[in-house]
Amino acid sequence: MSIRILNRRDTARKISTSPTQIDRLVLAKEFPQPIWISPRRKGWVEEEIDAWLKSKMEARVRSRS
């Protein structure tokens, strides 16, 4: 198993939003928290982003029922 870490820009691109919106979602605790790779560098675990996206799709399906 390999763990892929996405930077802020790639994370925003993956969910089709802006890097600023990623920051807002993180502050609101509505998005997976980043991990600190070094004192000046953070990233997001791609598997956690995928799970977040899946939960959004499942919520969409439930809201249609």
pLDDT in tens, 45-61: 999 999 999 999 998 87
Return the minimum-mean-pLDDT range out of 12-16, 24-28, 57-61. 57-61
* Residue-averaged pLDDT of the chain: 94
Q: Please answer whether residues 11 and 49 qualify as being in contact, where contact means their C-beta atoms are separated by less than 8 angstroms.
A: yes
What pLDDT sits at residue 3? 95
What pLDDT sits at residue 65? 64
DSSP sequence for the chain: ----EE-HHHHHHHTTS-HHHHHHHHHTT-SPPPEEEETTEEEEEHHHHHHHHHHHHHHHHHHH-
* β-strand partners of 22: none
pTM of the model: 0.87
Residue 64 pLDDT greater than 80, yes or no: no
